[in-house]
Amino acid sequence: MSKRPRVIVIGGGFAGLWAVRGLAKAPVDVLLLDRNNHHVFQPLLYQVATAGLAAPSIAAPLRHILRDQRNVTVLQVKVDGIDTTAREVHAAGQRHHYDYLLVASGVSHAYFGHDDWQQWAPGLKTLDDAMNMRARILSAFEIAEGCTDPAEVQAQLTFVVVGAGPTGVELAGTLAEVARHTLKREFRRIDPTTARVVLVEAGPRVLPAFPEELSDSAERQLQKLGVQVMKGRAITHVDSEGVRIGDESLSARTVLWAAGVTASPLGRMLGVPLDRNGRVPVAQDLSIPGHGEVFVAGDLASLVLPAGPVPGIAPAAKQMGTYAARVITARVAGRAEPPPFRYKHSGLLATIGRMAAVADMGRLRLSGLLAWWLWLLAHAYFLIGFRNRLVVLIDWAGAYWTYNRGARIIVRDQ
């Protein structure tokens, strides 16, 4: 076989994919392992969940994205173990040797010790999650239309979104739009515009990562869309009937979870101490203690720089992936290593609904229509692949003019 150093990258999200691309010209063989066959543009997952976009519009096969990079082999496998002493990754009954390893397997949703809530309150991290959410949301309206019991109709038309970070805000705002506009004329027995969308946030404000003035603006924009915002209120129970918020019970057949993340279990396989969310603390070259050849990037990595912790967002993941590729390239070439990783913050964007968004670009703070255009352009630009971008833009343009949503298909019920 080849004598070139073997780099294994686990995870084809933003961090992993950008690392692989960064190694395109390095004299290494890259093996990219992912459970799924596709890279997914996570910032638009909520659009798939709310039936605005088809799943293939925000995803592309990893091997298609990387088809021209001849030093990469892509395998769709689930990683079962990592042996940092033998320098091997175990997957699908095989052992893959590495000289350098990058773990970028991300995070999934956390239920704060209440894993049984998951069946009633699905989260949103993968396309599967998004398809499930879509089926639940649309089915609630379908069931309500067939219902004769008014209390049950009301419970079916009550949607609770838990957590007011960007995903929760996007879900709540879009859900309110779907109920008030998209479905408006399509039912005969129920009035979908009476649907109640409740956004519950344990902290004191929505979008806690944003400046306070933008949080306030986001809350006003949510209310304008018809979302009921409950701040400083914790979910204390979830079951098939609904939720308990503090001591108060709320009948709701659809509960969507956007409240917390927990690190991928692969972090535990590295044999190093983890932070309290299960993330892997890394050095400033993104390597782990005691293993300079093992790197962690993206949401799974925990790194506090002098300017503060590196946030778990797509631009940070891309930067870390690119940086890890540079370190590996330098090592392989015997060149001096690059200076320690620095995170370049280009701003925070969160969309809320039609023409509603907030943008924190440092000194420039926008909300409403302007922020929404900025968000739209940024996301269309960053979507991978020309075709996807074009189809997404057509879908958006259509949705903008008609309020219709092109992907309202219940493919599989839970």
Residue among 5, 21, 24, 36 that touches its own copies (CB under 8 A): 36
User: 148 or 240: whose CB is closer to its own copies?
Assistant: 148
Kindly report the CA angle at 63 between 396 and 36, in degrees rounded to 5? 75
Q: Give the contact letters, 142-171, x = binds to its own copies (CB under 8 A), - = no.
A: x--xx-x-----------------------
Residue among 8, 102, 127, 303 that touches its own copies (CB under 8 A): 127
User: 92 or 369: whose CB is closer to its own copies?
Assistant: 92
Report the C-alpha gap between 402 and 296 in whole angstroms. Answer: 44
- 31 phi and psi, to 5 degrees? -120, 115
Compute the Cα dihedral for 14, 16, 19, 21 and give only its sign: negative
Under rule CB under 8 A, residue 388 binds its own copies: yes
Catalytic residue flag (residue 145): no
Catalytic one of 142, 152, 170, 337 = 170
Q: How far is the CB of 88 from its own copies (least distance, A)?
A: 15
Q: Of 172, 148, 174, which is closest to residue 162 (Cα–Cα)?
A: 172
Q: Of 243, 168, 175, 241, which is closest to residue 201 (Cα–Cα)?
A: 168
Report the C-alpha gap between 381 and 404 in whole angstroms. Answer: 23
User: 185 or 363: whose CB is closer to its own copies?
Assistant: 185
Compute the Cα dihedral for 202, 208, 211, 215 and give only its sign: negative
User: 320 or 399: whose CB is closer to its own copies?
Assistant: 399
Under rule CB under 8 A, residue 370 binds its own copies: no
Kindly report the CA angle at 395 between 214 and 57, in degrees rounded to 5? 90
User: 96 or 109: whose CB is closer to its own copies?
Assistant: 96
Per DSSP bridges, beta strands 304-305 and 280-281 are unpaired
Q: How far is the CB of 405 from its own copies (least distance, A)?
A: 9
User: 128 or 248: whose CB is closer to its own copies?
Assistant: 128
Residue among 5, 118, 398, 403 that touches its own copies (CB under 8 A): 398
The SS3 assignment for 408 reads coil
Report the C-alpha gap between 261 and 77 in whole angstroms. Answer: 23
Report the C-alpha gap between 291 and 276 in whole angstroms. Answer: 21
Q: How far is the CB of 166 from its own copies (least distance, A)?
A: 24
Q: Give the contact letters, 56-95, x = binds to its own copies (CB under 8 A), - = no.
A: xx-xxx-xx--xx---xxxxxx--------------x-x-
Q: How far is the CB of 291 from its own copies (least distance, A)?
A: 26
Q: Of 44, 15, 20, which is closest to residue 105 (Cα–Cα)?
A: 15
Q: 10 Å Cβ neighbour count for 401?
A: 8
Under rule CB under 8 A, residue 304 binds its own copies: no
Q: Give the contact letters, 183-222, x = binds to its own copies (CB under 8 A), - = no.
A: --xxxxx---------------------------------
Q: Of 45, 7, 12, 42, which is closest to residue 28 (Cα–Cα)?
A: 7
Catalytic amino acids? 170
Residue ranges that bind its own copies, judged by CB under 8 A: 36-38, 54-57, 59-61, 63-64, 67-68, 72-77, 92, 94, 127-128, 131, 138-139, 142, 145-146, 148, 185-189, 387-388, 390-391, 394-395, 398, 404, 406-412
